Amino acid sequence: MIIYPAIDLRGGKCVRLVQGEKNRETVYNGDPIAAAQEFKQKGARWLHVVDLDRAFDEEANNTAIVKNIVDEVGINVQTGGGLRTLGDIERLLNTGVHRVILGTIAVRRPALVQKAITEFGDDKIALAIDARDGRVAVDGWERTSQLDALAFAKRMQALGVQLAIFTDIARDGMLTGININALKLFLENTQMEIIASGGIRDIGDLEKMKALNYRTLNGAILGKSLYEKRIDLIEALEFANKNDVS
């Protein structure tokens, strides 16, 4: 199980939101490069980076910072937020990130997802399943579609998606614990690898996930739990790697 420390970028700073609401923001570090370096020093092999400015369709973006993280820190990065075209995807991949995450565009232009997989490879494209009450949220989580999240996952799998990030928006940034039943639903009913996100608060949540014993559970994204020191990253990495045969 891979642990993905999260870095959400807004205005060039490392922030966390509550349930994705942009007016409920806490700045945790004004230097995202330093945050990334600290995570790597503690043993992280991956980072989960979201460009909130681009996700909210604001004028600025944080692509240069993402590139600096890749160049200066030298760590695997998966990143998303506001990607709308094949050109957007290509520009991000050219920064050296390992893979990009597609959300809203996958809902509105599923054919583009298939084209991206064909052009860049299925290891370079991940799907964001951002769910609110079982429905897929779009536009930086500001709107909720009528699309059932599991049906959406199955449709994307049929198009060639191999990896998805499942986030329960109601729990994101709340430190109320992982929605283990919702996670299990996706693990049981798809063949994609799944990364769990949203509400993870302590090692106990990681224990619950690992106890499901699904080989398709790729890992977990840790955000506020790390910044609020509810989880020690070194401890989380040691737990995730223990008896891990993946």
Q: If we measure between CA atoms, which residue out of 5, 32, 66 comes closest to residue 229?
A: 5
As given in the structure block, the two tokens for residue 54 are 């681009």
C-alpha–C-alpha distance, residues 83 and 99, integer Å: 12
Instruction: Output the CA–CA distances (angstroms, integers) from residue 211 to 97, 214, 238, in the order listed.
Output: 31, 8, 16
Q: If we measure between CA atoms, which residue out of 70, 32, 75 comes closest to residue 52?
A: 32
Question: Mind telling me the catalytic residues?
Answer: 8, 130
Q: If we measure between CA atoms, which residue out of 63, 62, 75, 70 comes closest to residue 4?
A: 75
* Cβ neighbour number for residue 133 with a 10 Å cutoff: 10
Q: If we measure between CA atoms, which residue out of 221, 168, 214, 211 comes closest to residue 191?
A: 214
Q: 44 φ, ψ to 5°?
A: -65, 140
Please measure the distance between the N-terminal and C-terminal CA atoms of the chain and give it in whole angstroms: 7
